[in-house]
Amino acid sequence: MPFAPKTNSFVPSSQLMGSVFVFRISIVFCAFLFLYGSVLASERPKEPEAGQIEAEEFDAIGTILHHVLDNHDWHLFDKKGADGQIHPVSIPLPIILLSEGQLDVFMSNAFEHGHALVQRGSRSYQMDEHGHITDTNGHSVLDFSITKNVASMLLAVVLLLIIFTRGAKSYDASNGRPHGIAKVVEPLVLFVRDDIAIPNIGLQYKKYMPYLLTAFFFIWINNLLGLIPTGANFTGNISVTATLAFFTLLITNFSGTKTYWGHVFTPHVPLWLYPIMIPVEMVGVVAKPIALMIRLFANITAGHIIILSLISLIFVFKSLAMAPVSLGFVLFISCIELLVAALQAYVFTLLSALFIGLALEQPETNAHH
């Protein structure tokens, strides 16, 4: 006789754990929203002094761009100093410059947020309001600095190494069975293999699994790190998404078969259409990774801008009555952003596998089937 659990009034443990998980997530989101509000509130213009007609208007656009764009330091919050002025509190990052064959390394706080010149022997450097560093003597400067985005990328790489190293060790310790962090990672790896790689690439999927898994987890973890208050908008940087898309372009084209390139240079159209179709096909080869680049960049950046814009409404209208409405929408958008963080990693990996699979196309031997 099959086992039939008795009905009772107790809440099943799975439902109870799910409720506790949702409660904890809600607490974390409330803490995140508080931190977001604190960061923006710290940048609110100071009160008007005696004899001053009105306070300076809140610069919502400048505040949003400051948090979305890359910086040479990791900004945390602003505080009012003893002089009554607002001073930023940030973590300085290394500045690495190559000028006149000389390598200069120092910390970004030497610029005092763009208000000071840095003297390094016969060379002096200054930073403009956009974070560009120039040599005041007019010499060319190559900037290899560790910016906020680079620091966030290195943090994501360290997290990836820790997760997969510990996951691999757990298999050795438990005789090949998933244990610990491997229980979380293994379903995701199987998902990439069974639902992305095999359906789109086919029997040759194993060769491309390292790249697909790296792209999926790298994008996903960086997306999640970008949702943390004061986090870097790493995948919202067009240079980052362009580099990822370029890797897909290289792998796709170097994997291309004769059939794939035959469709590009000898399309199945009348010869008199070749001058039109060949350029169109070549544009299509480049357009696919460009679509990958723009899709990831636009979706991640839009999410950050929407959240910061909603919080900025409190200071634009200068009313606390706006706070509950604004924070309510921010909580809703933040929940969507958690989904978007995983969805964009999935879409990028899926389209990369699809493009690779199209490049591996073989000639049809049995067309009638």
pLDDT of residue 88: 75
46 vs 309, higher pLDDT: 309
Distance between CA atoms of residues 18 and 184, nearest Å: 16
Do the Cβ atoms of 297 and 56 come closer than 8 Å? no
- Hey, what amino acid is at 186? E
28 vs 115, higher pLDDT: 115
Q: Assess whether pLDDT exceeds 60 at residue 12.
A: no
Name the least confident of 7-21, 184-198, 264-278, 283-297: 7-21
Do the Cβ atoms of 148 and 70 come closer than 8 Å? yes
pLDDT of residue 56: 58
Mean pLDDT of 118-137: 81
Distance between CA atoms of residues 301 and 238, nearest Å: 10
Do the Cβ atoms of 227 and 334 come closer than 8 Å? yes
Three-state SS sequence of the chain: CCCCCCCCCCCCHHHHHHHHHHHHHHHHHHHHHHHHHHHHHCCCCCCCCCCCCCCCCCCHHHHHHHHHCCCCEEEEEEEECCCCCEEEEEEECEEEEEECCEEEEEEHHHHCCCCCCEEECCEEEEECCCCCEEECCCCCEEECCCCHHHHHHHHHHHHHHHHHHHHHHHHHHCCCCCCCCHHHHHHHHHHHHHHHHHHHHCCCHHHHHHHHHHHHHHHHHHHHHHHCCCCCCCCCCHHHHHHHHHHHHHHHHHCCCHHHHHHHHCCCCCHHHHHHHHHHHHHHHHHHHHHHHHHHHHHHHHHHHHHHHHHHHHHHHCCCCHHHHHHHHHHHHHHHHHHHHHHHHHHHHHHHHHHHHHHCCCCCCCCCC
80 vs 272, higher pLDDT: 272
Distance between CA atoms of residues 140 and 121, nearest Å: 16
Take residue 145 and report the two structure tokens written for it. Answer: 């600095």
The strand pair at 133-135 and 123-127 is best described as antiparallel
Is residue 49 very low, low, confident or very high in pLDDT (cuts 50, 70, 90)?
very low
Most confident of 7-11, 141-145, 363-367: 141-145
Q: Assess whether pLDDT exceeds 50 at residue 2.
A: no
Tens of pLDDT along 326-356?
A: 888 888 988 899 999 999 999 999 999 999 9
Q: Assess whether pLDDT exceeds 90 at residue 272.
A: no
Q: Assess whether pLDDT exceeds 90 at residue 28.
A: no
The verdict on pTM exceeding 0.95 is no
Tens of pLDDT along 194-221?
A: 999 999 998 899 999 999 999 999 999 9
Do the Cβ atoms of 195 and 348 come closer than 8 Å? no
Do the Cβ atoms of 141 and 127 come closer than 8 Å? no
pLDDT of residue 176: 74
Mean pLDDT of 254-273: 86
pLDDT of residue 168: 84
Take residue 54 and report the two structure tokens written for it. Answer: 């009105």
